[in-house]
Structure 1
């Protein structure tokens, strides 16, 4: 059985080689030595340091495949590029910073071998700041609601998934990729395992607040619940406004000398206009994504590949949308 480790790389010139070496050693220790690594450079803005390290690794190790993207496409789109070039019967998703530590693989495999199609590692205690942890809790709450994720399943970027699930997931062509949504379309035979969350080996997270919001918003492509919530809220506030109008009319009828409050009226108008624009923006987000889909915006653009042969690529329609670069080694 072949195992494929897929890792998106972003400013990871100081960490990725150590992560790969540790993972290779741990897989040998677990008796699963037949492993390959698919590393995707997500256009790291570091003056070419990351791709230089990745090219060196590909030259020295035949089990290391490297894909260099021409522009930054985001973690999930970079993972889609890796998944399409992974040949393994089991795919292992990890990060490039050492926080998804190889020493925890045994715990994941112990559950995976019970017959699950997808196993996530989750962190009871995260090595993030309070703001990032708060955002994670909000993300879990909204994801549970919007894509009907089982409440007892907790997720992260550390996972094991079977090849047939990957084969269905990579048929997705939209530019707003959300892997959990894609995986849940394929199977509900999912489990999660508590694991230790390690400190980053070097540096800090490359995610800005805007990038985190964009990543979270990718779930909109897999649920219409926000639109339904907008409709429900619209009916609710319309009903409240109608009732308030009746109350004001009766009060004015009983007390003709009652003065109408201009400030309260302005507050109400401002609130409801803001609510309307928020819902219009939400609808516009859905329409915008439909527009981008119709214009066939690519998930990623490949600049070059190393240790990757054309025959190893998955035969899916998306390949016609993605520019292919040179193949080396």
Structure 2
């Protein structure tokens, strides 16, 4: 669950005491649903809301810059990491590959931006108009199209605990982002189908040539097994990609609630 900060000017001549509220969902619905839940909760309670992970790695000093851009008219402010030098070689390069791949797939995504962002009340309302169950907020927020700004900051070292995003979850998150915002994998399957169809025609012509014009008409088992195995693998891969999209359509068609708030804990 993501901490939520809502900002309002303190009353004149009065000590300002922020109200802290914690939301507990009925079950674990994942990072993106928890984040959206807090945004929905804040929609009618603030002029703007800032989402930030609770691992204390995002620099809270950047919040002042977020607010400055908001007061100047920006309705979406992205927190963007200045560099990834503190990341491991593997994580740094896989992240770079992920952002480049998303751009190739046609997804509008802010490079080196995660979920540290400010949304105005109007931007929150617009975001909540998206009804899909397969959430990828990094791709959804840029679709709003309101005036935006970027704040650059250095990410801190993790003080305690371990990341809740191991490689398996990172790959799942990336795949969900690609299949939720791009039909490029389906087009790639179509292109592969055409390419391998052309190769199969060429192979058939070659076999016909050998049969009619040479004395080497006896084929070994390898010449049959390798093409069959190769094309069978391509067919299964293509069916898997298509099945992934059909599965998403099936889940979306149910229109099930994305989360339920089990408890609201706050002062007073």
Which bracket does the TM-score occupy, shorter chain normalised?
Answer: 0.7 to 0.9
**TM-superposition CA deviations, 1:192-221 (whole Å, max 9, x none):** 443201111101101233322222232222
Aligned counterparts of 1:66 and 1:300: Cα–Cα separation in 2: 15
Q: Which runs of 5+ in 1 are unaligned?
A: 1-6, 10-19, 25-31, 36-60, 308-327
The whole-number CA distance in structure 1 between the counterparts of 2:194 and 2:153 is 44
Q: How many residues align?
A: 258
Equivalent-residue separation in structure 1 for 2:218 and 2:148 (angstroms): 62
The reply on whether 1:286 has 2:245 as its aligned counterpart is yes
2:48 touches 2:120 (CA, 8 Å); kept in 1? yes
SS at match of 2:23: strand
What value does the CA root-mean-square deviation take over the aligned residues? 2.8
The match for 2:189 is 230
Q: How much has 1:291 moved relative to structure 2?
A: 1.5
How far does residue 191 in structure 1 lie from its aligned partner after superposition?
A: 4.2
Give the whole-Å Cα distance in 2 for the aligned partners of 1:272 and 1:264. 13
- Alpha-carbon deviations, 1:105-162, whole Å to 9, x = none? 3454555555443232222125333332233123212221334326x75422211222
Q: What is the aligned partner in structure 1 of residue 14 from structure 2?
A: none
Query: Residues of 1 paired with 2:227 and 2:150: CA distance?
Result: 46
Q: Which of 212, 228, 234 is the matching residue for 1:269?
A: 228
Residue from 90, 95, 117 that aligns with 1:136? 95
With structure 2 as the length reference, what TM-score do the two structures score? 0.83
Of 226, 244, 249, which aligns to 2:203? 244
Q: 1:20-99, aligned counterparts within 5 Å?
A: 34=9, 63-86=19-42, 87-99=45-57
Secondary structure of 2:140's partner? helix
- CA offsets, 1:153-173, max 9 Å, x none? 542221122222221211333
Larger RCO of the pair (alpha carbons < 8 Å, separation 6+): 2
* TM-score normalised by L of structure 1: 0.69
